[in-house]
Amino acid sequence: MPSSPSRLFAEISTALPPTGGGVTMGRAVVLGGSMAGLMAARVLSEHAEEVVLIERDGSTADGGEPDAPRAGVPQGAQVHALLGAGALQLERWFPGFVAEAVAGGAVTPPPDGSREWFFTDGRRRVTAPVAQDWPVLVSTRPFLEALVRRRTLAADNVRLVAGRADGITFEGERVSGVRYLPQGRDGAEDEITVEADLVVDAMGRSSRLGDWLRDGGWQRPPVRRMPIRLTYATALFKHDPAVTEAWNAVSVDSADPAAGRPARIGGFILVEGERWMMLVAGYGEDRPSRDTDDYLRRCREDFPKVFGDIAERAEMISEVVTYHQADSRRRDFHALRRLPAGLVAAGDAVASFNPVYGQGMTSATLHASCLSSWLRAEGTSIGDPARGYFDLVRVVVDAAWQVSTFADLDLPHVDGPYPRGYRLTKWFAGVLFELAVTDRVIAARFARITAMLAHPHALARPGLLLRALWLYAVLRRRGPAAD
Ligand SMILES: Cc1cc2nc3c(=O)[nH]c(=O)nc-3n(C[C@H](O)[C@H](O)[C@H](O)COP(=O)(O)OP(=O)(O)OC[C@H]3O[C@@H](n4cnc5c(N)ncnc54)[C@H](O)[C@@H]3O)c2cc1C
């Protein structure tokens, strides 16, 4: 298996399907049929005779509206964009996926970055980050998930069961199965136990796997949290190019207590069905509500003019939907001293981040590739604890966690924990950000990291450090540019 974080990213960041491997188990059971569970099931379809996906939200199993937000994924009505690495992974596991999504109405940015606006503090419009070889893929969340579900369930050996997982069973030093209550039943006597060679926890950030481990006499994974107290409010509008030529915009205001300005994020994206989805978000007590007047006022007053233009001149075609996320959270399975065999976890069940960085779904797809790498690695036995898998997932989690929590340490209501060397790293990140506006090499490197196509270590390569310091020195010598 790869020996360094950068190497792992290089190895799995390919659209080419992996080779080798083969069927090594009878039945795998995946708990949760959302992005992480579906991706894990896709990978396992190559290694298990049968894959059973158990999803408590029956609307995915009984022919409910495939493209509508569903109760099991309450964040699904909010703005969701898939980063470049996520698009690459979907292409890896489902060849032709991006073209199919685009044919169905999903949007990829124009390669020259035009019509994509980016605003920073004080509503200053700056050049959008350079286009990627793997650009962001934009649609509503249910649209994307429905495509992934259809592709995953197309495998003959993957079966979706509507039911609520209630626990896992153990046999000696391993997990031996799952207890679940089929949909429509409510008595303990209705519970079914299904045996499994491998169980995947993909039940999202509220997963109760830790309780189940403790109840079975094992340890819970240690949990790390960073409080963010972020509230999203989102509504849909009819796309109207007469209002603005921009298809997408992001506005990021960092807090300036002296000027009375709180940290705020807003954005809009063009999604399938010729609609704009527009988001306004606030931190701490600055909480947008479901009240339409409050939402429209925020669009007009708290964000650049184009947000107000859409709010006032485009037709609003949905109610305002809100979502509150209290913290970024990770469960460090890799740190467990005792871990039963036959168990892995993926997606938000392992780590979920401040959603403004758009890392969650992409992380789930990368975890799937980690699962594949582990299962295909020489010496892997599903009879042993999946330490090799959790070590790989840790690299992906660390990368996303570093980017999101480092930026969130700047929020006034976040007070640590500060990593070693925080001040120096913060200064250097500020320098790189300033240089990225004019230097294409630095901008491209930055963009690959925020798209999760490369590990953040890529910013610390000597060549890039020297280039940055040299450019910075030139910039300082020149002094501030005249207006
Ligand atoms: C406001 C907001 C905006 C976001 N924006 C983005 C974005 O722009 N880009 C991005 O990539 N990510 C974004 N995310 C993150 C993204 O939503 C998650 O990372 C992603 O959904 C994780 O997928 P998952 O499968 O791990 O978990 P989830 O999507 O949470 O799914 C968990 C599944 O498990 C099922 N389940 C739970 N318990 C049980 C049980 N006992 N039995 C059976 N089934 C069960 C649920 O019904 C659900 O289907 C955002 C998140 C939020 C909150």
Of 298, 325, 352, which one is at a domain's C-terminal end? 325
- Over residues 324-341, the pLDDT tens digits come to 999 999 999 999 999 999
* Residue pair 21/378 in contact by the 8 Å Cβ criterion: no
What is the pLDDT, as a whole number, of residue 481?
A: 47
Find out whether the beta carbon of 347 lies less than 6 Å from any atom of ligand 1.
yes
Residues 50 and 157 in one domain: yes
Task: Indicate which CATH number applies to the domain containing 316.
Answer: 3.30.9
Distance, CA 82 to ligand 1 centroid (Å)? Answer: 13
Class of residue 294 by CB neighbours under 10 A (exposed 0-12, middle 13-18, buried 19+): middle
- Over residues 433-447, the pLDDT tens digits come to 778 777 888 888 888
Q: What is the mean pLDDT of the chain?
A: 90
Q: Quick check: is 414 in a domain?
A: no
Find out whether the beta carbon of 267 lies less than 6 Å from any atom of ligand 1.
no
How many other β-carbons are positioned within 10 Å of the β-carbon of residue 399? 24
Find out whether the beta carbon of 31 lies less than 6 Å from any atom of ligand 1.
yes
Cα separation of 90 and 231, whole Å? Answer: 29
Find out whether the beta carbon of 204 lies less than 6 Å from any atom of ligand 1.
yes
Residues 161 and 81 in one domain: yes
What is the pLDDT, as a whole number, of residue 227?
A: 92
Q: Quick check: is 412 in a domain?
A: no
Distance, CA 214 to ligand 1 centroid (Å)? Answer: 24
Phi/psi at 227 (5° precision): -70, 130
What is the pLDDT, as a whole number, of residue 388?
A: 97
Of 295, 325, 355, which one is at a domain's C-terminal end? 325
Residues 153 and 215 in one domain: yes
Whether 483 has a pLDDT exceeding 60, the answer reads no
Q: What percent of the chain has pLDDT over 90?
A: 67
Residues 219 and 239 in one domain: no
More reliable by pLDDT, 353 or 463: 353
Distance, CA 202 to ligand 1 centroid (Å)? Answer: 9
Q: Which ligand 1 atom sits closest to the C-alpha of 203?
A: 34
Find out whether the beta carbon of 165 lies less than 6 Å from any atom of ligand 1.
yes
What is the pLDDT, as a whole number, of residue 330?
A: 97
Q: Quick check: is 417 in a domain?
A: no
Sheet with 248-253: strands ordered across: 124-126, 116-120, 248-253, 264-271, 275-283, 223-238, 321-331, 351-352
Residue whose tokens read 């929020």: 411
Q: Quick check: is 437 in a domain?
A: yes
Q: Quick check: is 469 in a domain?
A: yes
CA angle 93/95/101 to nearest 5° reads 100
Band (pLDDT 50/70/90 cuts) for residue 370 is very high
What is the pLDDT, as a whole number, of residue 38?
A: 98
Find out whether the beta carbon of 6 lies less than 6 Å from any atom of ligand 1.
no
Class of residue 474 by CB neighbours under 10 A (exposed 0-12, middle 13-18, buried 19+): exposed
Average pLDDT over residues 85-101: 97
* Residue pair 37/153 in contact by the 8 Å Cβ criterion: no
Residues 186 and 273 in one domain: no
Whether 115 has a pLDDT exceeding 70, the answer reads no
Give bridge partners of residue 82 from the DSSP assignment. Answer: 137
Find out whether the beta carbon of 54 lies less than 6 Å from any atom of ligand 1.
yes
Cα separation of 392 and 460, whole Å? Answer: 21
Q: Tell me which amino acid residue 28 is.
A: A
Of 374, 407, 440, which one is at a domain's C-terminal end? 407
In 138-261, alpha helices (H): 141-153, 209-215
Band (pLDDT 50/70/90 cuts) for residue 411 is confident
Residues 13 and 150 in one domain: yes
Cα separation of 382 and 270, whole Å? Answer: 44
What is the pLDDT, as a whole number, of residue 463?
A: 78
Task: Indicate which CATH number applies to the domain containing 176.
Answer: 3.50.50.60
DSSP class of 419: P
Distance, CA 152 to ligand 1 centroid (Å)? Answer: 17
Distance, CA 472 to ligand 1 centroid (Å)? Answer: 41
Task: Give the residue whose CA is nearest to atom 5 of ligand 1.
Answer: 80
Class of residue 311 by CB neighbours under 10 A (exposed 0-12, middle 13-18, buried 19+): buried
Q: What percent of the chain has pLDDT over 70?
A: 93
Q: Which residues contact 165 (CB under 8 A, 6 or more apart)?
A: 31, 32, 54, 56, 178, 179, 180, 203
Residues 154 and 210 in one domain: yes
Residues 248 and 313 in one domain: yes
For strands 158-171 and 174-182, give the pairing.
antiparallel
DSSP class of 246: -
3-state secondary structure of 303: coil
Q: Quick check: is 416 in a domain?
A: no
Find out whether the beta carbon of 199 lies less than 6 Å from any atom of ligand 1.
no
Residues 395 and 461 in one domain: no
Question: Which residue, 35, 133, 145, is CA-closest to 88?
Answer: 133
- Over residues 238-294, the pLDDT tens digits come to 999 999 988 888 898 888 878 778 889 999 999 999 999 999 999 999 999 999 999
Residues 10 and 48 in one domain: yes
Q: Which residues contact 350 (CB under 8 A, 6 or more apart)?
A: 330, 331, 333, 367, 393, 397
Give residue 55's domain range. 5-97+143-224+334-407
Residues 304 and 209 in one domain: no
Q: Quick check: is 483 in a domain?
A: no
Give the containing element (helix H, strand E) for 168. strand 158-171
Please give the tally of structural domains in the chain.
3
Phi/psi at 136 (5° precision): -60, 150
Residues 281 and 310 in one domain: yes
Q: Quick check: is 260 in a domain?
A: yes
